[in-house]
């Protein structure tokens, strides 16, 4: 880019500058651009990229939310938002497969999902005989089973690409491979320094994922913020024997699944998606703490031995499945594993969205709406009080 063009960019005052164009940031950019705001979205990598939290080809959408029933209204808005995004872009992003949840009858998963489902009138069923409904599964006899009809699979890379396309189509500027080095709050403007230039905006949104803690540590804030812990999470893929593979596909009605194996820990997985020979699986728990700039990005097969064996044990044809590939992602964990959506203390024009703790991707469309509301209007009609910083006071 020429010096003259950079000078013009630096002189411009944007309505909103977004710091971090991963899932939440790019969703906010799309929504702001739809509302004709002048938006600059920055990211130190490409958009999308394989270095943060949301990649790996599959993320689960579920509404009977065991974590907290107050998430359910947000999920209803998110569901509509995903369908809107598919309609805008003509892309297939969301496969509705249903979700099968297994665990102890008195565990958090079954109890919490039932509570959320009943409180909000969701289509959920307790299954007396899992094997009759899903003959490929062989869950432990002592486990209860719950099926959610509207659950399904989102394709994260494709979703982020779709948000970016909408943002660009509506005039947003997406700056990639540009690292933010400092943020300077002000009464009427926010200045954002990068390794290329200084930008000015009337408001800023920080959606920096695993890099949030590092960025916040460099901002003068009058009140202490709750700590965020970045953890390293391994993911894997199993490949069934060729003759068995069709039975594990979306075409055969194979569902997403989650199994509570101990308090605070789930194993989960997906059907084989169109165009992919493998089924993705992982364990949802807090992995080892890591530095996002120094993380080991290759998974050792030994790290996946336990989760792979657990997944195989759930299926009649599990012994024939081979571990075909592996990957690494990260969680950015709040202290209570709930999201943080609020203004930065002492800065009315800087909005913070972080701490998505490994279960946030599915909320992206509604988070984009909320962040756009806060940046442009100062408030939102969505009920997000339970996600504010006030809970840490």
Percent of the chain whose predicted confidence (pLDDT) is above 70: 97
Give 234-290 pLDDT, tens digit per residue.
999 999 999 999 999 999 999 999 999 988 899 999 999 999 999 999 999 999 999
Rounded to whole angstroms, the Cα distance separating 11 from 159 reads 32
Percent of the chain whose predicted confidence (pLDDT) is above 90: 91
The pLDDT, as a whole number, for residue 73 is 97
The pLDDT, as a whole number, for residue 258 is 98
Phi, psi of 330 (to 5 degrees): -135, 155
Residue 232 has pLDDT above 80, yes or no: yes
CATH code that applies to domain 71-154+229-333? 3.30.9.10
What average pLDDT score do residues 130-139 get?
93
The pLDDT, as a whole number, for residue 274 is 93
The pLDDT, as a whole number, for residue 1 is 44
Residue 353 has pLDDT above 50, yes or no: yes
Nearest to 255 by CA among 118, 95, 65, 81: 95
What average pLDDT score do residues 12-27 get?
97
Residue 69 has pLDDT above 70, yes or no: yes
Give 209-226 pLDDT, tens digit per residue.
999 999 998 887 777 788
Rounded to whole angstroms, the Cα distance separating 166 from 26 reads 9
The pLDDT, as a whole number, for residue 220 is 78
Give 36-60 pLDDT, tens digit per residue.
999 999 999 999 999 999 999 999 9
Residue 3 pLDDT class (50, 70, 90 cuts)? very low
Cβ-contact 238, 279 below 8 angstroms:
yes
Phi, psi of 298 (to 5 degrees): -105, 135
What average pLDDT score do residues 325-333 get?
97
pTM of the model: 0.95
User: What residues contact residue 247 under an 8 Å CB cut-off, 6+ apart?
Assistant: 136, 240, 254, 317
The pLDDT, as a whole number, for residue 225 is 84
Rounded to whole angstroms, the Cα distance separating 108 from 23 reads 27
Rounded to whole angstroms, the Cα distance separating 278 from 235 reads 12
Mean pLDDT (the chain, rounded): 94
Rounded to whole angstroms, the Cα distance separating 39 from 172 reads 5
CATH 3.40.50.620, domain 3-52+158-224+337-392, yes or no: no
The pLDDT, as a whole number, for residue 154 is 98
Q: Could you state, in order of their start, the residue ranges of all structural domains in the chain? A: 3-52+158-224+337-392, 71-154+229-333
First to last CA, the chain: 46
Residue 8 has pLDDT above 80, yes or no: no
């Amino acid at each position: 880019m020429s010096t003259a063009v950079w000078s013009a960019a630096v002189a411009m005052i944007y309505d909103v500058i977004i710091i971090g164009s991963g899932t939440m940031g790019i969703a906010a950019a799309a929504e702001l651009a739809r509302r004709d705001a002048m938006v600059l979205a920055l990211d130190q990598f490409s958009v999308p990229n394989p270095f943060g939290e949301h990649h790996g080809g599959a993320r689960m959408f579920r509404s009977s939310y065991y974590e907290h029933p107050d998430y359910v209204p947000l999920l209803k808005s998110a569901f509509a938002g995903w369908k809107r995004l598919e309609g805008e872009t003509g892309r297939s992003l969301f496969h509705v497969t249903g979700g099968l949840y297994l665990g102890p009858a008195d565990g958090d998963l079954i109890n919490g999902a039932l509570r959320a489902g009943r409180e909000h009138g969701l289509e959920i069923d307790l299954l007396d005989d899992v094997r009759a409904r899903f003959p490929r599964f062989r869950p432990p006899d002592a486990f209860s089973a719950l099926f959610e009809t509207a659950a399904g699979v989102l394709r994260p890379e494709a979703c982020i690409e779709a948000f970016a396309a909408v943002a660009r189509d509506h005039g947003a500027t997406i700056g990639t491979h540009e690292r933010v080095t400092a943020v300077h709050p002000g009464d009427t403007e926010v200045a954002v320094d990068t390794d290329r230039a200084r930008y000015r905006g009337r408001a800023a949104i920080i959606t920096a994922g695993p890099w949030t803690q590092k960025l916040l540590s460099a901002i003068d804030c009058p009140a202490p913020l709750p700590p965020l812990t970045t953890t390293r999470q391994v993911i894997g893929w199993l490949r069934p024997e060729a003759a068995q593979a069709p039975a594990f596909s979306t075409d055969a009605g194979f569902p997403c699944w989650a199994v509570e194996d101990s308090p605070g820990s789930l194993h989960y997985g997906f059907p084989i998606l169109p165009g992919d020979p493998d089924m993705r699986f992982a364990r949802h728990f807090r992995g080892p703490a890591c530095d996002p700039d120094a993380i080991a990005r290759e998974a050792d097969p030994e790290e996946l031995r336990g989760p792979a064996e657990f997944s195989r044990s759930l299926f009649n044809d599990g012994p024939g499945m081979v571990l075909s590939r592996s990957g690494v992602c990260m969680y950015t964990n709040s202290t209570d594993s709930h999201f943080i959506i609020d203004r930065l203390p002492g800065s009315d024009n800087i909005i913070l969205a972080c701490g998505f703790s490994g279960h946030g991707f599915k909320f992206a469309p509604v988070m984009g709406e909320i962040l756009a509301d806060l940046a442009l209007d100062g408030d939102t009609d969505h009920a997000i009080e339970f996600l504010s910083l006030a809970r840490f006071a």
